[in-house]
Amino acid sequence: MQVRIVLSMLLLALPVNAAVAEGLDMDRPMGEATARAMLGRFGYGATPASLAATLQESPRHYLQRAIHEDASLPAPVAAQISALPVAEPLEDVWSRLGPGAPSRMDSKDDPDARKVMQREEGDYSRSALQARLLTMANSRNPGHEALLSFWLNHFSIYAPKALDKLLAWDYARALDQAMAEDSFEALLRASFFHPAMQVYLDNTQSTAIDSPAARLARQHDKPAGINENLARELLELHTLGVDAGYSQKDVQELARIITGAGIYSPAMRTRALERAGATRQGLFLFDPRRHDAGEKTLLGTRFPAGEGLPEIERALHLLATQPATAHHIALKLARRFLSDDPPPETVDAMSKGFLRSGGRISATLMPLLASGAFAASLQKPGKFKEPLDYLLSVARAACGDEPVGNGVVLAATATDMGQAPFMHTTPDGYPTQESAWLSPATMARRVRLAIGTASERVPFAQGEEGVALRPRDMTDAGKEKPVRGTACHIDAAELERVVGPLSAATALAARGLSARERTALLLASPEFMRH
C-alpha cells in the first residue's frame, strides 16, 4: 500500500492547468464543488456540517463572516480551552510572572524557584499553542481562522522568546479583535501596541541616546541606545515590503520615532510614571523618558519635535496608507489564498481596492474572490497545502463533525511537521510557497500521518483512554512520553465526499484496495494535498 501511496504522490510534481473561468457570482449561494473548495482554501477542509452550512452562503457572505464574526466552537472544545492555563486573565498572570513580579525576582537567586517559574511559563506557552490549534480545527467559522492565521503569520512573533511565553495567546486575541474592524491599519496598530511585538523585536529598551533614561543609565554604567529591529521589520515585513525603495535613513528615523514604546512592569512606580507623562494601554507602555523628542523625517514626511506618542500614531498611519503597502499586502494575500505566482492583474485589482477603501481587508479580498483566476483555481485546486493546512484537514476529515479534541497531539504533530503557530523563529513568518514545503522528507511525514490516521492510530479525539501515540518530539529528559487519546472513527463515504472527484490516476491507484488502504491513499493523494 505504501508504494502505491508514494507513487500517487509523485503526481504532485505535475503542473496544474486550471481552465479559464469566469469569476464567482459573489451574491449567489455556492454549489457543492465550490463550497467544498472554498472550505479548503479559506479554511481547513470540509466536514459534513460545514459543507452543508457553506452551501447556504454566497462568497461575499462567507468572506464578510470570516472578517467580522469570531470563532464559534463546539461546547466540549470551548470548555477544554477554558480549562487551559491561558484562560487565566493576563493581568493576573503578568502580576505573578511579569517583569519585576515577586516570583521572577525570587527566581534570580533561587534555583528551585526558577524551575517552578520556568515550568509555569512553559505550561502557559504550550497551552497557547494547543488552544490556537483546537480553535483552528473546530471553529464553525473556518474562513475566520484561516484569515486570522494569515495575519498572525504576517505579524509574526516567536512565543518561546522571553516574556512572549506569557503573551502569545493574548496577542492572537488582540489581532482577532482588530480583524473585526476590517482595516489593515487596525491590525498594524494591534500588533505594534501589543507587548508581545515590543518584546519580540527588542523595542522594550530602545532608548534615545540623549534622553533622561539614557543619561540615568550611563550614571549607573548601564548600556542604553536605539534598537532598529522593530523599525526595520515595520518597513520591510509589516507594511511597505523589502523592495519599496525606503532607505536606511528611513529605518533610523522610524526607530527614533518609536523610542519610548515598550511594556508595563508591575515593579514600576505609578506616581513616577504619572509625573513623567507615561501612557499605559493594557500592558503596553509609552515612556517619554526613553523617547527621542527631536525632529525626524520619515519617507519625506516631517515629524516636528516634541510630539511623543502621537507621532508614533502618525507614523503607523503613514505606513498603512502607502501604495507600496497596498501592493505588498495584496501580493501576500494572493499568494496565500490563490497561487504562488498570482496574475499581476489580480494583484493590481486588489491593491486598488485597498487604496480606494483606506485599507479595508474586505475591499482588498473581494477582487480576489471575484476574479476568474480564483474561480478557476477552485475548479481545479492547485495551491499546495502548507503543513498546518494538511494536518488540520486530515484531522477534520478523520473526525468529521466530531470535535478534534486532542490539543497535545495537534501541537506535537504541527511541531514535527515544522509549522506550529507562534513558533517561527524569524519575523518573516512561515513561507507559503510550494517550494518551501514539497520535499521527500516532508512528504514522508505526510504519508506516515495519512497511514496512521487511516489505521485509527492517531488519537485526534479528546480522551485518556485508547491508543497511545509516541511522536518523536514528545520527549521528557530524552525519553519518549506516550500521549493517550481516542482516534476518530473514519466514515469512508463522507471522506470521499469531502475529498471530491479523483483524477483517473488516483482512481486507478485506489482500485482493489481495502477500505483502510483506500482511506490512506485518499489522505495522501494529490487531490487532498492541494486546496
Question: Is 419 in the same domain as 503?
Answer: yes
Range of the domain at 10: 2-16+382-529
Cα dihedral 384, 390, 396, 398 in deg (nearest 10): 110
pLDDT at position 4 = 52
Three-class SS state of 484: strand
Asked if 420 and 129 count as a contact pair (C-beta separation under 8 A), the reply is yes
Domain edge (last residue) among 154, 182, 210: 182
Q: Is residue 331 part of a domain?
A: no
Q: What is the DSSP letter of 475?
A: E
Residue 272 has pLDDT above 60, yes or no: yes
Residues 290-307 have a mean pLDDT of 97
Q: Is residue 238 part of a domain?
A: no
Residue 125 has pLDDT above 70, yes or no: yes
Question: Is 7 in the same domain as 111?
Answer: no
Rounded to 5 degrees, φ, ψ at 285 are: -135, 130
Question: Is 452 in the same domain as 520?
Answer: yes
Question: Is 123 in the same domain as 6?
Answer: no
pLDDT at position 501 = 87
Q: What are 258's three cell numbers?
A: 518609536
Residues in the chain: 531
Q: Is residue 454 part of a domain?
A: yes
pLDDT at position 482 = 55
Candidate ranges 98-102, 140-144, 503-507; pick with highest mean pLDDT: 140-144
Which of 427, 428, 429, 409 lies closest to 419 in space, CA to CA?
Answer: 429
pLDDT digits (tens, 9 = 90+) for 182-195: 999 999 999 999 99
Question: Is 110 in the same domain as 9?
Answer: no
Residue 483 has pLDDT above 80, yes or no: no
pLDDT digits (tens, 9 = 90+) for 17-50: 444 468 899 999 999 999 999 999 999 999 999 9
Chain Cα centroid distance, residue 138: 16
**474 vs 170, residue with greater confidence:** 170
Strands 284-286 and 279-281: antiparallel
**C-alpha span between 373 and 205 (Å, rounded):** 47
Question: Is 129 in the same domain as 6?
Answer: no
Q: Is residue 8 part of a domain?
A: yes
**C-alpha span between 91 and 89 (Å, rounded):** 6
Domain edge (last residue) among 182, 210, 233: 182
- Total tally of structural domains belonging to the chain: 2
Chain Cα centroid distance, residue 104: 29
pLDDT at position 212 = 93
Which of 72, 50, 60, 66 lies closest to 29 in space, CA to CA?
Answer: 60
Residue 517 has pLDDT above 80, yes or no: yes
**C-alpha span between 177 and 190 (Å, rounded):** 9
Domain edge (last residue) among 163, 182, 201: 182
| Band of pLDDT at residue 145, cut at 50, 70 and 90 | very high
Question: Is 108 in the same domain as 10?
Answer: no
Question: Is 412 in the same domain as 490?
Answer: yes
Residues 108-118 have a mean pLDDT of 86
pLDDT digits (tens, 9 = 90+) for 337-375: 999 999 999 999 999 999 999 999 999 999 999 999 999
Residue 448 has pLDDT above 60, yes or no: yes
Residue 462 has pLDDT above 80, yes or no: no
Which of 300, 299, 295, 388 lies closest to 336 in space, CA to CA?
Answer: 388
Asked if 422 and 128 count as a contact pair (C-beta separation under 8 A), the reply is yes
| Band of pLDDT at residue 10, cut at 50, 70 and 90 | very low
Q: Is residue 345 part of a domain?
A: no
**C-alpha span between 503 and 61 (Å, rounded):** 31
Q: Is residue 273 part of a domain?
A: no
pLDDT digits (tens, 9 = 90+) for 66-97: 999 999 999 999 999 999 999 999 999 999 99
pLDDT at position 467 = 42
Residues 277-282 have a mean pLDDT of 95
pLDDT digits (tens, 9 = 90+) for 238-270: 999 999 999 999 999 999 999 999 999 988 888
**C-alpha span between 525 and 507 (Å, rounded):** 10
Which of 454, 465, 472 lies closest to 418 in space, CA to CA?
Answer: 472
Question: Is 387 in the same domain as 504?
Answer: yes
Beta-bridge partner residues of 475:
480
Question: Is 498 in the same domain as 392?
Answer: yes
Q: Is residue 356 part of a domain?
A: no
Question: Is 12 in the same domain as 99?
Answer: no
Question: Is 99 in the same domain as 8?
Answer: no
Q: Is residue 174 part of a domain?
A: yes
